[in-house]
Amino acid sequence: MRSVFTADRLWDGHTVVESPVIVAEDGRIVSIASQTAAAIPGGELHAFPGLTLGPAFFDVHIHGSAGHDVMEATPAALLTIGKFLAKRGVGAYLATTVTAPMDATLRSLNGLAKLIEKAPEGAQTWPIGIHLEGPFLSHAKRGVHPPDLLLAPQIDIFDKMFEAAQGHVRLMTLAPELPGAAELAAHAAAKGVRVSVGHSNATAAETAPVLAAGATSATHTFNAMRALDHREPGILGVVLTRDDLFAELICDGIHTAPELVRLWWKAKGAERGILITDGMAAAGMPDGEYMLGGFPVQVADGRATANGVLAGSVLTLDRALKNFIEFTGATVENGLRLLGANPAAMTGFSDRAGSVAVGQPANLVVVDAAGRLVQSIHMGALV
Does pLDDT of 122 surpass 80?
Answer: yes
Does pLDDT of 243 surpass 80?
Answer: yes
Q: Which residues are catalytic?
A: 278
Which residue ranges make up each domain of the chain?
2-53+367-382, 57-353
Report residue 134's pLDDT band, with 50, 70 and 90 as the boundaries. very high
pLDDT in tens, 168-196: 999 999 999 999 999 999 999 999 999 99
pLDDT in tens, 72-93: 999 999 999 999 999 999 999 9
Can you tell me the mean pLDDT for 125-131? 98
Does pLDDT of 43 surpass 90?
Answer: no
pLDDT in tens, 263-299: 999 999 999 999 999 999 999 999 999 999 999 999 9
% of the chain surpassing 70 pLDDT: 99
Report residue 211's pLDDT band, with 50, 70 and 90 as the boundaries. very high
CB 216 within 8 A of CB 247: no
The reported pLDDT for the residue numbered 41 is 83
pLDDT in tens, 357-378: 999 999 999 999 999 999 999 9
Mode of pairing for the β-strands spanning 373-378 and 364-367: antiparallel
Question: Which amino acid is it at 45?
Answer: L
Report residue 38's pLDDT band, with 50, 70 and 90 as the boundaries. low
Is the model's pTM score more than 0.85? yes
For the chain, give the mean pLDDT. Answer: 97
pLDDT in tens, 329-343: 999 999 999 999 999
Identify the burial level of 1 via C-beta atoms within 10 angstroms of its C-beta, where 0-12 means exposed, 13-18 middle and 19 or more buried.
exposed
The reported pLDDT for the residue numbered 37 is 63
Task: Provide the phi-psi class of 283: left if phi over 0, else alpha when psi is between -120 and 50, else beta.
Answer: beta
In sequence order, which ranges of 242-294 are alpha helices (DSSP H)?
Answer: 258-272
Does pLDDT of 40 surpass 90?
Answer: no
Does pLDDT of 302 surpass 80?
Answer: yes
Q: Give the integer Cα–Cα distance in Å for 150 and 139.
A: 7
Report the CATH superfamily, name and number, of domain 57-353. Answer: Metal-dependent hydrolases (3.20.20.140)
The reported pLDDT for the residue numbered 39 is 73
pLDDT in tens, 141-155: 999 999 999 999 999
The reported pLDDT for the residue numbered 12 is 97
Q: Give the integer Cα–Cα distance in Å for 278 and 295.
A: 16
Identical fold for domains 2-53+367-382 and 57-353, yes or no, is no
**Protein fold of 2-53+367-382:** Urease, subunit C; domain 1 (2.30.40)
The reported pLDDT for the residue numbered 325 is 98
Does pLDDT of 101 surpass 90?
Answer: yes
Say what the alpha-carbon torsion angle 118, 119, 120, 126 is, to the nearest 10 degrees: 170
